[in-house]
């Protein structure tokens, strides 16, 4: 997954909190010990076919032991057998200076010692990875471990280039000194003795696959540009050299590139995913003698608003190619942002993957509980928590790929809708419900699963839900009601099997005449400033050059960038609001992320939105969905004490901050 900026920001802020003690992880892991090996296009474990379903998590290496154990407990409860997680973390100097990205919560594996990259083997270094590997072992879960990152989060490729004083992102693949540093890291990690188990990483069957990196490409996050000379041959030659190096040290584990699986049909191919332009040729990479597993990722709606069917075709093409090459294939990441259709889309993709002979799939992303008991926020919009309906769908697919078809009840997924003030709304809750080798019956929707008979009408706080024989569900709000109303339901399939209980939640928006203006900057900066924990965030000033509500706005001159905001004189209630909006204008030279965070209650709990990129030289209205894009619920939003807006380095003008 490309953008991790929100996760890094959360990690930095999280370092202010105390770490809770670790919870004991369960023993008696469900998956047999032994190395996963390849026999042609098949993977095997202890002489038997090994096909798998699982997930990804990026924060395990820097979060508390309690949080690590929680994620593995959720994964084990969902019967996942493989997890992909990061085995890298680079900073500049030991004091954090000259870093491409900050050390999340003070944890890092490599740093510059004045002459060359050095290794941090201690408690805030590779001992963290020791614990992750041991936690996976205790949970019976195999690991896929990428050894660096194409993107700038957690340092990655760009930190090597910075250490070297290079010019281009792709210097990483060609510069002899950088390649030597990367080989040194491979040597150090593979030969490391786990301080908990006493087993060298290269001898540990908990690890299934070494990946050369996470999503290598010629271009990165923009810290360094791509050179004109980077081609598919550049990355293929590098992958050949480094995969052979891994195998020269470790013959027991699988090796893969970790790329997204782009094709190289030729420079004139109409689709950028097929025209070799990213430096990736999945066929050439899979052919390499030391590569065991074709890797590919899948994000159709992030790669140019492609369809779910395009994703199915992408899966089929890769698995067919891998089988023809005699290699295994792994869908190492996949995601679909639209939660209203995610459940059937994931079911279709996983079914296509299983049918076309792939070895295993790992969805992006499983997150668990934080040390304070709250869920880790869904920063990038792809999180599927477990347990949940979509998690059940993934579990069912994991069982099916591992051991064949089963007779299963339908899976009903949660639904949401938004309606205007005093306005009924109708939706079809069964549209994202799934059945197995049959169909759901929309006419069987039951609005009160706890009672013996099927209920088609139910009155709740805020209004009344009524379901028709077609399966259409109408919510009629009480006069004047503002807020969220919810009703549980189940549905049956044509075989008479009953689904899990899912919830329909309808949000009734406030009277549109009741817009709350939070800032208009007519009297000055109105208390807005850079967040106090940012040493060089930047400055703010009133401006007349950009104003959308009156005659003045606020100019934010972001140096290092970060959070800018205000502490309200009195708490603000956003619990009945559906959106927070602000008008903004970026400079001709720099864009910014549009995102907000609020601090709520007397404890100033942090609650953050998703991030959306706004290009340079753009005037727009940033709209933050308070119903689905925030990491907290409406209860917390009833007591907002501080509002923050995120600004990337550069100059950005804002005005008319309001809640609707």
Residues serving a catalytic function are 215, 333
- Pairwise CA distance, residues 559 & 334, whole Å: 35
Encode 411-469 in three state secondary structure. ECCCEEEEECCCCCEEECHHHHCECCCCCEEEEEEECCCCCCCCCCEEEECCEEEEECC
- Pairwise CA distance, residues 318 & 121, whole Å: 38
- Pairwise CA distance, residues 564 & 570, whole Å: 19
Q: How far is CA 84 from the centre of its chain?
A: 12
The residue count of the chain comes to 660
User: Which letter does DSSP use for residue 206 in this model?
Assistant: T
User: Which of 241, 233, 231, 122 lies closest to 179 in space, CA to CA?
Assistant: 241
User: H or E segment at 82?
Assistant: strand 82-84
Query: Counting Cβ atoms within 10 Å, is residue 267 exposed (0-12), middle (13-18) or buried (19+)?
Result: exposed
| The two structure tokens encoding residue 50 | 């090994």
Query: Counting Cβ atoms within 10 Å, is residue 620 exposed (0-12), middle (13-18) or buried (19+)?
Result: middle
- With a CB cutoff of 8 Å and minimum separation 6, the contacts of 633 are none
Alpha-carbon dihedral angle through residues 142, 240, 170, 91, given to the nearest 10 degrees? 40
| The two structure tokens encoding residue 233 | 């041959």
Note whether 100 and 159 are within 8 A (CB). yes
- Pairwise CA distance, residues 581 & 572, whole Å: 15
What are the backbone angles phi and psi of residue 118, rounded to the nearest 5°? -120, 165
3-state DSSP percent of the chain in helix, strand and coil, to 5: 25, 30, 45
- With a CB cutoff of 8 Å and minimum separation 6, the contacts of 604 are 641, 642
- Pairwise CA distance, residues 151 & 417, whole Å: 35
């Amino acid at each position: 997954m490309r953008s991790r900026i929100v996760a890094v920001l959360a990690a930095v802020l999280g370092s202010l909190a105390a770490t809770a003690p670790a919870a004991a992880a369960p023993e008696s892991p469900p998956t047999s010990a032994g190395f996963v090996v390849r026999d042609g296009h098949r993977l095997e474990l202890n002489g038997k076919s090994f096909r798998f379903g699982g997930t990804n998590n990026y924060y395990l290496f820097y979060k508390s032991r309690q949080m690590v154990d929680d994620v593995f407990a959720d994964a084990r409860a969902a019967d996942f057998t493989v997890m992909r997680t990061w085995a890298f973390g680079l900073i500049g100097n030991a004091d954090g200076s000259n870093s491409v990205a900050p050390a999340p919560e003070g944890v890092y594996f490599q740093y510059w010692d004045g002459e060359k990259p050095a290794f941090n083997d201690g408690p805030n270094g590779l001992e963290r990875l020791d614990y992750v590997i041991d936690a996976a072992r205790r949970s019976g879960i195999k690991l896929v471990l990428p050894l660096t990152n194409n993107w700038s989060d957690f340092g990655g490729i760009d930190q090597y280039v910075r250490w070297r004083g290079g010019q281009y992102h792709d210097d990483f693949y060609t510069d002899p000194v950088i390649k030597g540093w990367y080989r040194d890291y491979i040597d150090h990690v593979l030969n490391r003795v786990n301080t908990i188990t006493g087993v060298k990483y290269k001898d540990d069957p908990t690890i299934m696959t070494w990946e050369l990196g996470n999503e290598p490409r010629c271009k990165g996050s923009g810290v360094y540009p791509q050179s004109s000379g980077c081609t598919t041959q550049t990355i293929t030659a590098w992958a050949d050299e480094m995969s052979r190096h891994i195998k020269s040290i470790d013959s027991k584990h699988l090796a893969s590139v970790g790329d997204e699986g782009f094709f190289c049909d030729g420079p004139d191919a109409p689709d950028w995913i097929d025209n070799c332009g990213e430096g990736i040729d999945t066929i050439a990479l899979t052919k390499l003698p030391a590569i065991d597993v074709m890797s590919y990722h899948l994000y159709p709606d992030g790669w140019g608003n492609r369809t779910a069917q395009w994703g199915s075709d992408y899966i089929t093409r890769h698995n067919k190619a891998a089988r023809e090459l005699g290699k295994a294939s792994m869908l190492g990441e996949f995601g679909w942002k639209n939660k209203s259709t995610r459940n059937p889309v994931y079911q279709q993709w996983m079914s296509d993957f299983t049918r076309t002979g792939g070895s295993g799939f790992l969805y992006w992303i499983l997150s668990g509980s934080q040390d304070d008991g709250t869920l880790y926020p869904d920063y990038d919009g792809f999180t599927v928590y477990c347990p949940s309906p979509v998690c059940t769908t993934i579990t069912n697919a994991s069982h099916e790929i591992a051991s064949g078809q089963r007779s299963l009840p339908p899976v009903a997924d949660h639904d949401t809708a938004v309606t205007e003030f005093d306005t009924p709304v109708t939706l079809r809750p069964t549209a994202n419900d799934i059945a197995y080798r049959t169909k759901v019956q929309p006419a069987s929707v039951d609005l009160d699963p706890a009672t013996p008979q099927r209920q088609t009408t139910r009155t709740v706080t805020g209004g009344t839900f009524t379901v028709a024989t077609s399966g259409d569900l109408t919510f009629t709000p009480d006069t004047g009601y503002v807020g969220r109303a919810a009703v549980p339901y189940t549905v049956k399939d044509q075989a008479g099997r009953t689904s899990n209980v899912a919830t329909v939640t309808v949000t009734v928006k406030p009277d549109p005449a009741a817009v709350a203006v939070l800032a208009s900057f007519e009297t000055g900066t109105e208390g807005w400033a850079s967040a106090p924990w940012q040493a060089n965030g930047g400055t703010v000033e009133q401006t007349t050059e950009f104003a959308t509500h009156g005659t003045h706005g606020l100019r934010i001159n972001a140096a290092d960038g970060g959070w800018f905001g205000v502490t309200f004189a009195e708490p603000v209630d956003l619990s009945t609001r559906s959106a927070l909006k602000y008008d903004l204008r970026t400079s001709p030279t720099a864009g910014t992320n549009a995102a907000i965070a609020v601090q709520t209650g007397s404890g100033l709990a942090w609650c953050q939105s998703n991030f959306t990129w706004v290009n340079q030289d753009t005037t727009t209205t940033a709209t933050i969905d308070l119903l689905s894009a925030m990491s907290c619920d409406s209860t917390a939003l009833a007591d907002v004490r501080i509002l923050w807006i995120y600004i990337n380095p550069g100059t950005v003008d804002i005005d008319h901050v309001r809640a609707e």
